[in-house]
Amino acid sequence: MSLPGEDQTRVLRERLDQLADSVAGGDRIDGAELYRRGVRRRRRRIAASIGLVAAGVVVAAVALGSAVQSESSSPEPPAPAASNPSSPEPSDDCVLTEQLAHGVELGAITEEQACQLAKAGEQENEARQEPPNGGVFAIEGEVQEDMVADCRAGTSDFGGTAEDIDLYCNAILKIAAGELKPTRICDPPECSDPGTPLWEYSKAELRDLPDANR
């Protein structure tokens, strides 16, 4: 492999310039609309982030409340929130923690929202019972030759720790060798194209993979 000479570079630049002129068609793009779409995207992202953080805080509060309740060694079982005349009535199928009940009482959240958050907290607690997988590696679509070459040469720049890179490269080499089948197929909007093969592994699963031939 070698880089082109000066003449080839100049000609390639001209062809790329022609390509950009012929296809980009920037005159048809409304700059103001492009900007507005960017602003809308940012606002959506901020709103989603706030919602995510708020949900995380509430879930953490729920988990903390559950832990505190379970650790309290009262001779009698704690009175349900409904028994407190100042607390709102809980739904039939969910038990509100004191924090959530207080939130409903203050009018910060509706009872329905509190119930959903309580269930989310329970699910979160259940999930914590499972062994942590330490993150998920995902490879979408196909493994490229340059990725394989980088992995073989030890020049991969995926980021992360040396162990992360080693685990990731091991998976890439095994996928390239056809030794690993996609864990699932994904479609838009998760993936850009319908029927895209996806390889998803937790770090623990990657550690369990036998070493690929390098």
Partner 1 sequence: MASTEDEAASFVAARRRELARFGFMLTGDRAAGEDLVQEALVRCLPSWGRLDPQGVEAYVRKVMARLAWKARRQPVHRRSLDQADLATADIAESSAELTDLRRALRSLAPRQRVVLVLRFWQDLSEAEIAELLGCRQGTVKSRASRAYAELRHELGGTDDVAIVDDPSAARKDMP
Hey, is 184 helix, strand or coil? Answer: strand
Question: Least distance in Å: CB of 187 to partner 1?
Answer: 12
Distance CA 129, CA 123 (A): 10
Tokens of 116: 């959903």
190 binds partner 1 (CB under 8 A): no
Interface segment toward partner 1; rule CB under 8 A; list 54-62, 64-72, 126-134, 190-198: 190-198
Residue closer to partner 1 by CB (options 23, 127) is 23
Say whether residue 123 binds partner 1 (CB under 8 A): no
Interface residue with partner 1, options 6, 23, 181, 208 (CB under 8 A): 23
Q: Are 114 and 104 in contact (CB under 8 A)?
A: yes
Tell me whether residue 110 or residue 144 sits nearer to partner 1 (CB atom): 144
Residue 141: CB atoms within 10 Å: 14
Q: Does 13 bind partner 1 (CB under 8 A)?
A: yes
Helix, coil or strand: residue 201? strand
Stretch that binds partner 1, among 27-35, 114-122, 163-171, 177-185 (CB under 8 A): 27-35
Q: Label each residue of 131-171 as H, E or C.
A: CCCCCEEEEECCCCHHHHHHHHHCCCCCCCCHHHHHHHHHH
Q: Residues interacting with partner 1, by CB under 8 A?
A: 1-5, 7-27, 29-32, 34-39, 41-42, 45, 140-142, 144, 146-147, 149, 155, 157, 192-193, 196
